[in-house]
Structure 1
């Protein structure tokens, strides 16, 4: 018996976009049970129709998508996918919606909107189906509370390091590579904010995210943790205490590793992975060129990206960790990674940082 089609409410202030998104979803086997033109109407429709998932525009007159998500998570928690403008401004608003409890986002492309969205029909349908299955245990107030706690811990640790470096069990010259997708922005931030700034660590975050968003994501991570975080640039070198976020729409490889520093290569080609950036591409390059200790991590996300990567890392002698099912928003990427038999530790999100530093190895 086939699984029941997810029931969806489509929220957008544009009648054209509501119709277009509805057509795309219904053509992909998703049942649209209601529409709304702004956040206030969305709250009423969701309460009445009780959908499995909501697609929510970010910018709307009256009650915008951010406020609507906050209210939704407080009153009738429902997995929500944000539809956001493909701009830096849209990225900022989208991250605010994720803070409020939205599960993931789908970026509206620029130019001819209808043509752009139509080309990504399959991806939109897949994302809606994935978000419909999301676990909301870390959404809304609980997610904001976790973020506030992590920020306070990071600030306290930063004060401590002024007088004495934070103790860590991590091996010298360790390279960290993290792969994540749906639910990843929050998960990555929580892991990095728990890492000590004094660790002899450098690394890469590969988060499935459009190009207009990864720079802002890097800025958020930089503000949230003791490590220095920047968006990757071609030819950039990173050393102790530095992390790079793979640029959206591109793959990222480690070109070489010398004297504890990694030189990065940003690649603008497909590579047949289905996603860009791909954790597989980055992890395989790390396995090939880095001789120092390596820790690979696969966090929440849909799909199977990272599966080939953890195989390569394991063959090269790296330690590999994966987030457990109970703490994942979507248990896709970590599940596929664990099924390879190449994952050394499967742990709750709250224990991943300790696993990276070797405290729970």
Structure 2
């Protein structure tokens, strides 16, 4: 049985969430109406996973989460709104240590709960398998980027892969493509904050998120990164020194216009399960650029989005980096890339930025 603590001040939401997980048949459920009650319950119930509302009386979700991570570290899935304020608060929760989040449906919650149910159950089941370490906190991840990474060894590279050959021709164009999902925002912090303002290639990021979350994500990254960070909302020329965040609930396409490389948001293609689709991003780039001028990075995330496309990229002569199981919150996406023998190298999250710098000068 999976021990689940549902922390929610709304009686209606507690009832609906309880019904969802009781119907699964393998959840033992307790409830708390606010953060203070949640902390008392955690100390005795010892849940495998917690769903935590952000807006609650007495002690809000962020304050409660901070105490959970310090006193009783366990996997937490935040339940947030789709508003911009909800996005900002959810990103803060992911920094503190939440594993994932689920956005409440808009309008009448009782009408939208059926659409929410499959993804909610999937996320909670996944979270219950995660081993929480305090080092997942943003502050510690960022501190890792200030240290000198250990030298690359044969074990840290993909099986049978030669050492990375740096691309030292400043006139050589290229593009870095990063895909991530569950646990992605703190991982992006650690990697992108490592890159200097003069980094020679543009970087495009597909992070699985709702549309209302990717703008706040881009703005927050822009505050901590030396490179300029923005969200792709229209056709945009890709330039060195810039990081481009794909708009949520859509896909991002790499193309060429008037001899320049551009990115644009496109309606999500339902042949792909996750959005923005990493697979679609990578395959669109391969249509317009030689594989040797592409570097793919696949980091923490549930599922397999990006693995097949990046394996094809490596086979065509491109370079790929998979986050190691040691640091990934969920080793689904990067693990699948490794399984397909599609990783040129395997790196801890705190080593990926240095690896990019070593290769792209």
- TM-score w.r.t. structure 1 length? 0.88
Are the equivalent residues in 2 in contact too, given 1:286–1:313 (CA < 8 A)? no
Q: Would you say 1:220 and 2:220 are equivalent positions?
A: yes
CA shift in 2, pair 1:357/1:333, >3 Å = same
Deviation string 1:238-295 (CA, Å, 9 cap, x unpaired) is: 2111121111100111022776x52112111333111111111101111121236111
Between 1:73-82 and 1:130-139, the stretch displaced more is 130-139
Matched with 2:76 is 80
Are the equivalent residues in 2 in contact too, given 1:85–1:108 (CA < 8 A)? yes
Matched with 2:322 is 322
3-state SS of 1:309 partner? helix
Q: Would you say 1:104 and 2:103 are equivalent positions?
A: no
Paired residues for 1:1-361 under 5 Å: 5-139=1-135, 142-147=137-142, 150=145, 172-256=172-256, 261-291=260-290, 293-358=293-358
> Alignment length, in residue pairs?
341
Are the equivalent residues in 1 in contact too, given 2:62–2:93 (CA < 8 A)? yes
Give how far 1:196 is off.
2.1
Give how far 1:359 is off.
5.2
Give how far 1:135 is off.
3.0
CA shift in 2, pair 1:222/1:258, >3 Å = farther
Are the equivalent residues in 2 in contact too, given 1:173–1:202 (CA < 8 A)? no
2:223 and 2:231 mapped to 1: Cα distance? 13
CA shift in 2, pair 1:102/1:356, >3 Å = same
Deviation string 1:67-96 (CA, Å, 9 cap, x unpaired) is: 000011111111100000111000111112
Deviation string 1:198-237 (CA, Å, 9 cap, x unpaired) is: 2211021111111110000011111111111111123111
3-state SS of 1:69 partner? helix
Give how far 1:33 is off.
2.5
Instruction: Give the aligned CA root-mean-square deviation in angstroms.
Output: 2.3
Between 1:341-350 and 1:17-26, the stretch displaced more is 17-26
1:128 and 1:360 mapped to 2: Cα distance? 38
Deviation string 1:6-29 (CA, Å, 9 cap, x unpaired) is: 221001100110111121123234
More contact order relative to length (CA 8 Å, sep ≥ 6): 2
Are the equivalent residues in 2 in contact too, given 1:135–1:328 (CA < 8 A)? no
Deviation string 1:20-75 (CA, Å, 9 cap, x unpaired) is: 11211232345142100100001111111101100000111110000000011111
Give how far 1:354 is off.
1.9
Where structure 1 has 5 or more consecutive residues not aligned to the other structure, the ranges are: 154-167
3-state SS of 1:325 partner? coil
